Amino acid sequence: MNPPLLIGAGGPVIPNFGGSSHQFACEKANRLFCWDWFNHNWSTTLWPALRQHVVLVVIAVALGFAVSMGLALLAHRYRRTEQPMIAFTSFLYTIPSLAFFELLVGIPALGLSFWTAEIPLIAYTLLILFRNILAGLRNVPTEVLDSARGMGMSRRQMLLQVELPLALPAIIAGLRIATVSTVALATIAAVVDNQGLGVPIISGIDNYYFKTELIAAGVLAVLLAIAADSLLVGTKRLLTPWTRTRAV
Amino acid sequence: MASTLGNDASSAVSNPIGGDASSALELELRNVQKRYPGRREAAIPDLSLTVPAGEVCVLVGPSGSGKTTAMRLINRMIPLTGGDILLGGRSVLERQETELRREIGYVIQQVGLFPHQTVQENIATVPRLLGWPKDRIDRRVSELLELISLDPTEVGRRYPHQLSGGQRQRVGVARALAADPPLLLMDEPFGAIDPINRATLQDGFLALQEMVRKTVVFVTHDIDEAIKMGDRIAILREGGTLAQYAPPAEILERPADEFVADFVGADRALKRLGLATLADVRLPPMNGDEPVGDVPLTMSVRDALAAVLAAGGRPLRVMSSDGEVRGLATLDAIGHVFDGSSEALSEASPAGRAADEQA
Amino acid sequence: MITNFVDAFKFIFRNGQIPGQPHFTTLTYYALGTLKVTLIAMAISLVIALPLGVWLGHRHRGSFIAINIGNIGRALPSLVVLAIASAFLGIGLNEVLVALVVLAIPPIVTNAYVAIDEVDRDLVDAARGMGMTDWQVLRQVELPVAIPLLMAGVRTATLFVISTTTIAAFAGYGDSLGEVVANEASYHLYGLLGASICIAALAMAIEVGLALLQRALTPVPLRRAEALAMTDETLVPALSGV
């Protein structure tokens, strides 16, 4: 259901998403945050929005990571491709989010849909992920590579057993940045695809009187970002035991 | 620094690792040439030498002499542009690169231990690549750790950054020995270590080599290290030509040309003294004088000379390890070591034999 | 599909007018409006954030704050900041500027901090040893070397600001290109596309301008082809895993 984007509308508009016409006391009292409204509308509005948001972000980062990994491995092998790839991913990054979303709306195959939102989100992750994966691979000390090769590892074995594991800290750092940024950017995706936490935020944005919806969704978005970041930090600690201790 | 590499292990381990020289192979470089594209001069124009199985061959020379290049040609880290290299009679060119390298131990100066793996996992690298069963790998890793005097339970699970420089070097050697290769390549392995610990590491390696008897190609720029470590020394000139290939004693006594003589150093007579111990010298018997101090029979003649000088030139009493008096170390006796008279040098030492040949 | 984009370009050439409709505000006006807001917001942000980041980096202090402010800034959805600003302050140029400054400061501070902090200590040491004062070291050694990473932060911030300015239209701020995008009813799809193309073009033009500025500021020996890359992210904090 598409909540109307009321721009400059006057008068208090308290979001009513159908169903209950119950009005809470705090709504009328117009305090900053109405817990009753929150609790009542959690399952109908906020929780679905949160779920959709998570889906948006996870798919964007996962696909972005897959593409970036492919590009980075190519650039690692064929150095000449690095500059063009950086230029390309930077180019995508430069397109302001709103413009990017809207331009894809112009493509009939996409229109207003899930993928209209996803493609720009994926595109924005490419630059940071590509650069970090590549930097991580490049930062493997040369003597480690030399000894690995000298011991008889094939190229593939070197990549899988030595280079990628050692690149993990940089890769995960990139994933953190990409994920947090995507959580924030996905709120704008609501403009073209009626999903995610952006929906309650946008509908609440010009509502001067009732701010609970906006605050609730906004806080949820930030909490989601923090949660995702912490999850990734934990993953990094798990996967890179050698970074846990200090040098002797 | 910990005790020498071999001593603890020989009592703890009943079967010495890789045991006999039969597991080592002969290495032959036959007209080896390395030419880089676009350069007029070849890095190595034509190098031929043979390292007998179980011996340590040291490649030594100034920078630009191609010693590291020559070593890296053996395990094909650098492609060969001419000639052939045979390991145990088989050309290295016949084999697949990665397969060949798994059969050659490789130790480099910065070690290159994998930072993301424990000591145990590092050592187990080649056995894992070769597909050994897990318990065989575990046993081998423990064996090797004990061999290099590191406690498997304590050090095994540590990461490289938690080890000292010397420990890392030893682990590097253990890692190279893990799959019991017939040939070991070492590129300035002790170069990054401070002199005191370096001596300990060198002694340790020599003790190890005593037990495992691998064919070793050892690269260094330090002539003293070459003399200490090598059964044979290959001196390379700038431009990659072989100046002389011979055991240390021969190089010290009869340097092939001026270059070798210069490279070995003007003090080569003193270096020669370092090759023999007092046991190899015919010592004059005790006279009536009171000696001012004792020196052990196992001391090198060079160190004995230093001790006598420190004592103001006065003679020192030479004691064997079981407390017997063997004679006097005098300036005179030491001074006549090389004059070809068989009175001063007993025939047992290589230096003595060479002196006899000269006479 | 092509018709949509063709119409979009026609829309642009007509400077935002639609035949048969009453006079709309021109695209030029909106573009200039976007530019104006961006400039003011960046000016304010730079004045606040650059000295702060540079000083912290120079003193090698406050790394926790300097780096985490970047992380927090990244996590703040621009919409939320706009919404909060508009909800509490109303809608107008100043209120939007507040939101923009809040969003622009973090990347500038973080990058400036890291850029200066990570200047080779040996360089600084040598400079001090030659008798340079603190200020001279900063101006003649640290800043020039730090330009690439520092400018990367400025460029990132500028992109944020341009982006958010256009989004502000949804919060009621009408003087930017985003106003067109927010009014599909009036402008139709092709109008939206046209405005979006303008937004993208404007952003790229500014990017190129900043890249050239960066090149001009980088001391000649340090210039490499990389300096012309369109955008840099804060790579170093990323690598240090903070």
CATH number of domain containing C60: 1.10.3720.10
Q: Which helix (H) or strand (E) holds B140?
A: helix B134-147
* Per-residue confidence band for B7, with pLDDT thresholds at 50, 70 and 90: very low
**B75-116, pLDDT tens digit by residue?**
999 999 999 999 999 999 999 999 999 999 999 999 999 999
In chain C, which residues have their Cβ closer than 8 Å to the Cβ of A91? Answer: 204, 230
Question: Is residue B274 over pLDDT 50?
Answer: yes
Q: Which of B74, B114, B177 to mutate to test the interface with A (most CBs of A within 10 A)?
A: B114
CATH topology classification for B273-358:
CBS domain Like (3.90.1280)
Strand pairing class (B215-220; B56-60): parallel
Estimate to the nearest angstrom the gap between the alpha carbon of C109 and the chain centroid. 12
Pairing of strands B215-220, B232-236: unpaired
pLDDT at position C101: 94
Q: Beta strands B56-60 and B232-236: pairing type?
A: parallel
Interface of B with A in 179-198 (CB under 8 A): 185
Identity of the amino acid at B2: A
Point out the residue among A145, A150, A248 whose CB comes nearest to the CB of B75: A150
Q: How far away is chain A from the Cα of B315, in angstroms, using its nearest Cα? A: 48
Mean pLDDT over B218-222 rounds to 93
| pLDDT score of A8 | 37
The pLDDT assigned to A151 comes to: 95
A10 CB near a chain B CB, below 8 Å? no
**Bigger pLDDT: B348 vs A58:** A58
B106 closest CB neighbour out of A147, A162, A245: A147
Instruction: State the pLDDT at residue B355.
Output: 47
* B13 confidence band (pLDDT: 50, 70, 90): very low
A89-140 per-position pLDDT tens digit: 989 999 999 899 988 888 888 778 889 899 999 999 999 999 999 999 999 9
Asked if the C-beta of B152 comes within 8 angstroms of chain A's C-beta atoms, the answer is no
What pLDDT, on a 0 to 100 scale, did the predictor assign at position C218?
Answer: 84
Most confident residue range from B215-219, C63-67, C225-229: B215-219
Nearest to A146 among B103, B112, B125 (CB): B112
**Global pTM value:** 0.82
C contacts of A127 (beta carbons < 8 Å): 231, 233
- Chain pair A-C, CB pairs under 8 angstroms: 184
Q: Which residue has the tokens 């948001």?
A: A53
Average pLDDT of chain B?
85
> Average pLDDT over chain C, rounded to whole?
83
A48-54 long-range CB contacts below 8 Å, 24 or more apart? A49/A195, A49/A196, A49/A197, A49/A199, A49/A200, A49/A217, A49/A220, A50/A197, A50/A220, A50/A224, A52/A195, A52/A196, A52/A197, A53/A183, A53/A186, A53/A187, A53/A195, A53/A196, A53/A197, A53/A198, A53/A220, A53/A221, A53/A224, A54/A224
- The separation between CA C233 and the C-alpha centre of its own chain, rounded to angstroms, equals 12
pLDDT the model gives residue C224: 60
For chain B, strand residue ranges (E) read 27-34, 44-51, 56-60, 82-87, 90-91, 104-107, 183-187, 215-220, 232-236, 242-246, 294-296, 316-319, 325-329
CB-based contact C241 A83, cutoff 8 Å: no
Q: What pLDDT does residue A1 have?
A: 34
Intra-chain end-to-end CA distance of chain B, in Å:
44
Complete DSSP assignment for C10-26: HHHHTTT--TTSPPPPP
Domain residue limits, chain B? 5-266, 273-358
Tell me the per-residue pLDDT of C159-171, one tens digit each, with 9 for 90 and over.
999 999 998 888 7
Average confidence (pLDDT) over B347-354:
47
- Indicate the domain borders of chain A: 48-242
Chain B contact present for A40, CB below 8 A: no
Positions of chain A with pLDDT under 70: 1-33, 36-37, 206-209, 247-248
The verdict on A236 touching B (C-beta cutoff 8 Å) is no
More reliable by pLDDT, B269 or B243: B243
Q: How many domains is chain C partitioned into structurally? A: 1
Higher-scoring residue by pLDDT: C150, A19:
C150
The model's pLDDT over C71-105, given as tens digits with 9 standing for 90+, comes to 888 888 888 888 888 777 777 888 889 999 999 99
> Between chains, do A229 and C71 touch, taking CB under 8 Å as contact?
yes
**Residue C206's domain spans which residues?**
2-18+25-239
At residue C148, does pLDDT exceed 50?
yes
- Whether B18 has a pLDDT exceeding 50, the answer reads no
User: Which residues of chain C lie closer than 8 angstroms to A225, CB-CB?
Assistant: 74-75
* Separation CA A61–CA A66 (nearest Å): 8
Domain B5-266 sits in CATH at 3.40.50.300
Q: Which of C110, C43, C41, C47 is nearest to C73 (CA)?
A: C110
Find the farthest-apart pair of alpha carbons in chain B and give their distance in angstroms, rounded. 74
Instruction: Check residue A208 and give its pLDDT.
Output: 67
Mutation for C interface: A85, A94, A242, most C CBs within 10 A: A94
CB contact under 8 A, A136 and C192: no
Nearest residue of B to residue A142, measured between CA atoms: B112
Whether residue A245 and residue B113 make contact (CB cut-off 8 A), yes or no, is: no
ipTM above 0.90, yes or no: no
| Chain C environment of A90 (Cβ under 8 Å) | 229-232
Is CATH 1.10.3720.10 the classification given to domain A48-242?
A: yes
**pLDDT for position C44:** 96
Residue that wins the pLDDT comparison between C220 and A48:
A48
| Subunits with 3+ C-beta pairs closer than 8 A to A | B, C
Q: Which two tokens stand for residue B100?
A: 């060949």
